[in-house]
Structure 1
Amino acid sequence: MIFAARLTQQQQQQQHQQQQQQQQQQQQQQQQQQQQQQEQQQIHQGIQVEEVLQWMPALLTPAAAAAAAAAALAPAPAAAAAPAAAAGAAAAAGTGFSLEVTAARSILIFFLWSAFALTDMFVVLFLISRQQHHQQHHHQHQQQQQQHQQQQQQQQQQQ
C-alpha cells in the first residue's frame, strides 16, 4: 500500500511537472510571437515614414510653385513699381496679352498648384490611415488566433 501510494504520488508530481513545462513553453511561444509582432509593426511604421518622405517632394513642389507665384503677384515696392510696370507693359505688348490677362493666368496657376498640393496631401493622409486600419485589423486577427490557440491548449490540458 505504501508502495502504491508513493507510485501515485510520483505520477502526480510528474504530471504536475509536465503541465508546468507545457505552460512555460506556451509562455515562451507567446513572448516570441509578441516580439515578432512588435518587430513587424516597427518595420511597417518605418515603411510608412519612408512612403511619406517619398511623397514629400510631390507636396513641396506645388507649394514652392504656389509661393513663387504669390511672390510674383505681390505688390512691388514703390521705387521698383514703375520700372516693373513698364517692363510688364512692354512684355505684354510683345506677346499680345494685357497685364490683366497675365495676372489672371498667374492667379489661376497659383490656385491650380494649391489644389494639387492639397490633393496630394489628402491622398497621403488617406493612404496612411488606410494602412493603419489594415494593421489594426491584422493585429486583432492575430490576437483572436492566439486566444483560440490558448483555449484549445487549455482544453487539451484539462482532458
Structure 2
Amino acid sequence: MPEPIRLTVMKKLCSEIEQRAGLAGAVFRGRSYFGPATGGPLKMVSVFEDGAHAEDYPQQTGDGRANVVRLPLILMGYDVEGVEHPTDPAMVMMHDVLAALRGVKRDGAPDGNRSRNYLGMGRIVDDIQIGNGHVYPAFANENTSVAFFLVPVTVTYVDLAA
C-alpha cells in the first residue's frame, strides 16, 4: 500500500528543514514533549498539524478523485544551550528554520523555464505559506519548561484518491 501523500509531504518538509537549518537528527513529526526535563534532546523541532486552523472540506474535483488540501502546520522548537538569556537560542533556531523554509520556497518556485517543484514533489505541492513565528519564555505553555518558538506554516498540495 502506498504511503499517504500527507505523510510524504510531512517527511519531505522535515528532511528539508533538517538539511537546510543544520538540524540533522533534531526534526521530528508530532513529538509533543519539549525539553530535557521531559526526556527530549537539548534541541529539537517538532512539526505537527494545526487542527484549530484545518479546513475539513477541501476543494474537490467533480468525481472526487483529487482534493486540493490546505494543511496548516505548527513548527515548535527549542535549544537549551543558552542560560543567561534563555530565549536567544530559540530565536536563533527560529531564524535558521525560517531561512530553511524560505529556501525551500525560493528553490521550488516556478520561473520562466520550469513549473513549481516544492519539496521535490513536482506539481503535487502547490504552495507553501510561512508565518512570522514567535519566541516564548519557559513555561509559556503546558508542553515545555524551556524557551521555545512557534512558526505557522501552511502547505497546499493535491491529494489524488487511489
Q: Normalization by structure 1: what TM-score? A: 0.27
Higher relative contact order (CA 8 A, sep 6+): 1
Q: Return the structure number with greater strand share.
A: 2
Q: Normalization by structure 2: what TM-score? A: 0.26
